[in-house]
Amino acid sequence: MSFLARYARSGPGLAGAALLAVLALSALMAPLLFPGDPLRIAGPAMSAPFADPAFPFGTDRLGRDVLAGLFHGARASLAVGLAAALAALAIGLTVGTLAGFAGGVVDEALMRVADAFQIVPGFLLALAFVSTLGASMPTVVLAIALAAWAEPARLVRAEVLRIRESDYVASARVLGMHPLEIAFREILPNALPPVMAFAAIIVAGAILTEAALSFLGLSDPNIVTWGTMIAEGRNVLRAAPFLSVFPGLALMIAVLGVYLASEGINDALRPRDGGGR
């Protein structure tokens, strides 16, 4: 049975895929449904939800459309989550493969670097990085990636250490293949399955970290994010709790969708006893 077929049999995986599909569709449709700048003043300030058909989720203190902010915020959150996860995996896969295949001094040196990054909590590392270099979307992505690459590097290293003594690797050496070609072409593809499920966790962590940084004002001020919407709503939390509740729910749905999708990946990768092919 193929990976997709096994994933389709996972209830949590299908639920997570559905939630992520809704968020992805919202992000793609944001420029069409809400053209223009979502940070512009669109109507009267502090319009209550469901009171005005033009603003179903109400408006904030400056008269900005909350629903438009949610749709455009999905673009920022998903973009940061995916970009940071890809960057973290690229660094982690490269370091882990080199460490596991080379061994010896190279392995020791690269793993000590990974230890150094893991000593500092990921959010504090991202916070210090963004505070130093300035708040922008590329900086946030790089900061989150630097805080998240060490764990996938260790996972890949463990798999490479297990695989590198396999018969097909020995055959590749006999054929005269370059060591880097053996490492990245023959070994790495077979070391990826355990990292696939962990990649979803990196995406969820990246979305939460981006929201936390935005909440603290460490994000691009020209881009609407769920974190900045929550921070904006906290100033009028008693009078208009919906300004923080709606983006908070969107953030929860995004993280829940990623978590359920990772459960589906785990189910699809887990070997089943007595199952047919």
Q: Which residues pair with 126 in a beta bridge?
A: none
Pick the range with the lowest mean pLDDT from 39-53, 57-71, 76-90, 188-202: 188-202
Under the banding of pLDDT at 50, 70 and 90, the label for residue 272 is low
CA–CA separation, 74 vs 26, rounded Å? 7
Tokens of 212: 């936390």
Nearest-5° angle of CA 215, CA 216, CA 219? Answer: 80
**pTM of the shown model:** 0.84
Please enumerate in sequence order all residues whose Cβ is within 8 A of that of 272, keeping only pairs 6 or more positions apart, or say none. none
Tokens of 104: 């010896």
Percentage of the chain modeled with pLDDT above 90: 38
Q: What is the pLDDT of residue 1?
A: 65
Under the banding of pLDDT at 50, 70 and 90, the label for residue 277 is very low
Among 237, 231, 235, 241, which Cα is nearest to 210's? 231
User: Taking each helix axis from N to C terminus, what angle separates 226-234 and 242-269, rounded to the nearest 10 degrees?
Assistant: 150
Q: What is the pLDDT of residue 71?
A: 94
Percentage of the chain modeled with pLDDT above 70: 97
Helices vs strands, H then E, count in the chain:
13, 0
**In the predicted structure, residue 197 carries a pLDDT above the cut 90:** no
CA–CA separation, 269 vs 159, rounded Å? 15
**In the predicted structure, residue 175 carries a pLDDT above the cut 70:** yes
Q: What is the mean pLDDT of the chain?
A: 88
**For the residues of 89-127, what is the DSSP string, one character each?**
HHHHHHHHHHHHHH-HHHHHHHHHHHHHHHHS-HHHHHH
Q: Give the side-chain half-sphere CA count within 13 A for 86.
A: 7
Residue 93 class from Cβ within 10 Å (0-12 exposed, 13-18 middle, 19+ buried)?
A: buried
CA–CA separation, 215 vs 218, rounded Å? 7
Q: Are the CB atoms for 204 and 265 separated by under 8 Å?
A: no
**In the predicted structure, residue 276 carries a pLDDT above the cut 60:** no
From residue 222, how far is each of 73, 225, 256 by CA, in Å?
Answer: 12, 10, 27
Under the banding of pLDDT at 50, 70 and 90, the label for residue 69 is very high
Mean of pLDDT values over 16-31: 92
Say whether 239 sits in a helix, a strand or coil: coil
Q: What is the pLDDT of residue 114?
A: 92
Q: What is the pLDDT of residue 189?
A: 87
Sign of the dihedral defined by the CA atoms of residues 210, 211, 214, 218, in that order: negative
Q: What is the pLDDT of residue 271?
A: 57
Mean of pLDDT values over 171-184: 86
User: Taking each helix axis from N to C terminus, what angle separates 193-215 and 150-163, rounded to the nearest 10 degrees?
Assistant: 170
Say whether 151 sits in a helix, a strand or coil: helix
Residue 210 class from Cβ within 10 Å (0-12 exposed, 13-18 middle, 19+ buried)?
A: buried
Query: In order of start, what are the domains of the chain with their CATH numbers?
Result: 3-34+60-269 (1.10.3720.10)
